[in-house]
Amino acid sequence: MNITVIFFLGLIIALVGVVPPGLLNMTAAKVSLKEGHSRGIIFSLGVCLIVFLQTYIAAMLARYLSSHPNTVQILRQVAFVIFVLITIYFLFVAKTSSKPEIEDHAKSKPSRFFQGMFLSAINVFPVPYQAYMTITITGFGWFSFDKMSIITYCSGAATGTFVMLYFYIFFFDKIKNKTLTSQKNMNYIIGAITGIVAVSTLINIVLGT
């Protein structure tokens, strides 16, 4: 398969996966609003590095995951716990900080990069998502598991993730004077989103879907 096509398949699939407001894109917007575009972009680059690695792992484990659904179930259980903890933090802990501006001076560009890596690493959903999508496009004959195809696909996935994160940075910059983007409301938004994700994950665990 043409590597250009594989690259854009990875880009589009990752783009679709990051379109819904979530922890990573909302945090990228929040960092950009508080500290400027450069910090938001540095955060996003950290996210994309982990996305590349997660997509690579997903491609390697695609066949295994397809024949062992219990593995995906375990990942969902871990993700549920993580998102519950994140929800509690943003709804009940982060808003109580009396001097949030201290964070602005404490966080350097490298620390934002590693923060992006960390938050992306605890977001395990790209692994089963990309594994499923890799199996799907392989079934259509659009992808093969040779080294070049995998690297190209992973590069497209990282690029697609960055494009969507930058869109969120750009969009929230345009509405930065609105009440929606205040410090407290941004925390509430992130907490509400992760709470919804946690509930939907719990439903999937209970139903076994």
- How far apart, in whole angstroms, are the C-alpha atoms of residue 171 and residue 112? 20
Q: What is the pTM of this model?
A: 0.66
pLDDT at position 100 is: 39
Cα dihedral sign for 68, 70, 72, 74? Answer: negative
pLDDT higher than 70, residue 35: yes
164 or 63, greater pLDDT: 164
> What is the percent of the chain with per-residue pLDDT over 90, rounded to a whole number?
20
Residue 22: other Cβ atoms inside 10 A: 19
- How far apart, in whole angstroms, are the C-alpha atoms of residue 86 and residue 88? 5
pLDDT higher than 80, residue 12: yes
Report DSSP state, residue 21: -
Q: H or E segment at 30?
A: helix 23-35
